Structure 1
Amino acid sequence: MLAAEFEPAEPGRRRFPRAPVSLHVGMDNSGLDRALCKVIDLSVHGCRIQTYSELERGSTIWLMFAGLPPCVADVRWSANFIAGCEFRKLLSQRSFDHLMKLDAMAR
């Protein structure tokens, strides 16, 4: 088995700034598996999630954020129950602000 270490990307390399969060959300893996996961960082472009089962790179998932319609995302990388996901449709600023408020209320 191969192991890899991930380092945070340099600030200038990201297309959109990311915010650390701790949001528990529902996840549907192409209709095959429904589970909970935890979003640990978020941008309007995508998120990083912690899962209870490994996700396959290239798979499609649906994230069910409270108060928003399901958000379709593609898994860009996955290792050790952590995955980086890119939203198929950017979050609106209003949706992003809503999720940041939910995170702040939960802390």
Structure 2
Amino acid sequence: MFAAEFEPAVSHGRRVAERAPVSIDGDIGKARRTLCKVVDISIHGARLLTYCPLIPHSMIWLTLPEAGSLAAEVRWAEEFAAGCRFMTALDPEVFERLVALNRAGR
């Protein structure tokens, strides 16, 4: 017979940073742009609603107010929704300004 102590691992989910619900208009692409809506954001990535389907594991340029153009990898996509991870994390001050823009209704 075996005996051992068991201590469950503490899980905080998959998220590594605070995610804030927002409604921010953005653009995808550099030369040919398509509109999108950012519906939540963290310093590491965002969830988008798009007018054209995105392809998982593809690279995009996401342009946002206060942040400029950000290189991002599409991590998942389902029809006209997608999640992306920024190649370079947002500066926490830029993140706070984006969340504040949303609160101000812009």
Q: Could you give the per-residue CA deviations for residues 65-88 of structure 1, whole angstroms, max 9, x where no partner exists?
A: 113221111000000210010000
* Aligned residue in 2 for 1:23: 24
Distance 1:17 1:67, change over 3 A: closer
Partner of 2:98: 99
The superposition leaves residues 2-23 of structure 1 with CA deviations (integer Å, 9 ceiling, x where unpaired) of xxxxxxxx85321112111110
Partner of 1:88: 87
For residues 13 and 52 of structure 2, what CA distance do their matches in structure 1 show?
31
Structure 1 residues 41 and 11, CA gap change in structure 2 (3 angstroms): farther
C-alpha distance in 2, partners of 1:87/1:49? 13
Q: Which one has the largest radius of gyration?
A: 2
Q: Distance in 2 between matches of 1:11 and 1:43?
A: 15
1:13 aligns with 2:8: no
How many percent identity over aligned positions?
Answer: 41
Q: TM-score, normalised by structure 1?
A: 0.82
How many residues of Structure 1 are paired with residues of Structure 2 in the alignment? 96
Gaps of 5+ in 1: 1-9
The TM-score with structure 2 as length reference comes to 0.82
Q: CA RMSD in A?
A: 1.7
Following TM superposition, where does structure 1 have runs of at least 4 consecutive aligned residues deviating by more than 2 angstroms?
10-13
Q: How does 1:26-105 map to 2 (within 5 A)?
A: 26-28=27-29, 31=31, 33-105=32-104
- Give the letter aligned to residue 28 of structure 2: M
